[in-house]
Amino acid sequence: MAIKNIIFDWDGTLGMTLHLWLAGYQSGMDNQGHEFSETVLARDFFYEHDKGAKKYPHVDFTRLVSDAYNHLEQNLPNLKLYEGAAKTLGHLQSRGLNLALVTSSPRAIARRGMGVHNLEQYFRSLIGGDDGFGHKPHPAPFDETIQRLNASPEETLIIGDARTDILAGQAARTTTCLFTPESNKLFHDFEELGAIGADYTIDRLADLVDLI
């Protein structure tokens, strides 16, 4: 069945917010007098705070996350998009596809980031991490989005950069596409991601147009 709907992830897929978060965590560590490499920050602090808190009990995680959020909000006006993001969205919309976005970031932060590049015009639905539908890898945010679009999983593709995106898409019975740009290597092990079994893998957003 032809794809008629595409659900995008935000952080690490359209907006280069991972790089802002990294700078925010680095700033937060500096405020506490700690020194960690970018590799360690990305590996141990980005995705599983509970494990990081146990591994580094001397780090005040509540303060760290607060400082990182503050840094992100202050620097959102400088947010960059991944190459071809806006152009790809425009192409897909012009071809009649329904576009939506599901992010684990708070809705307000996602909307502010999207607003920097006027991206909201492309999306028929936006679900943020604080909208009450849970977080990926649970499929609930995707299930809700598909319902809002009056669509079916079989006609829907999700694209994201993380294992949680692909697992949630698989659980929602959609087609899945893993996004692996070179600039994301610091944040992900591409070999491990590949083992999850996404239906497609691309490293340029423009390649998505040829998949549909």
Per-residue pLDDT of 101-119, as tens digits, reads: 999 999 999 999 999 999 9
Per-residue pLDDT of 115-157, as tens digits, reads: 999 999 999 999 998 988 888 999 999 999 999 999 999 999 9
CB 163 within 8 A of CB 136: no
Q: Which letter does DSSP use for residue 201 in this model?
A: E
> What does each C-alpha distance from 144 to 51, 81, 131, 169, 195 come to in angstroms?
30, 26, 11, 12, 27
pLDDT of residue 102: 98
The residues near 190 (Cβ < 8 Å, ≥ 6 apart) are 180
Indicate if the alpha-carbon torsion angle 24, 87, 157, 120 is positive or negative.
positive
Flag whether pLDDT at 1 surpasses 70: no
Domain 5-16+81-211: give its CATH code.
Answer: 3.40.50.1000
The residues near 150 (Cβ < 8 Å, ≥ 6 apart) are none
> Helix 140-148 to helix 163-171 angle, to the nearest 10 degrees?
60
Confidence of residue 51 (pLDDT cuts 50, 70, 90): confident
What pTM did the predictor assign?
A: 0.92
The domains of the chain are located at 5-16+81-211, 18-78
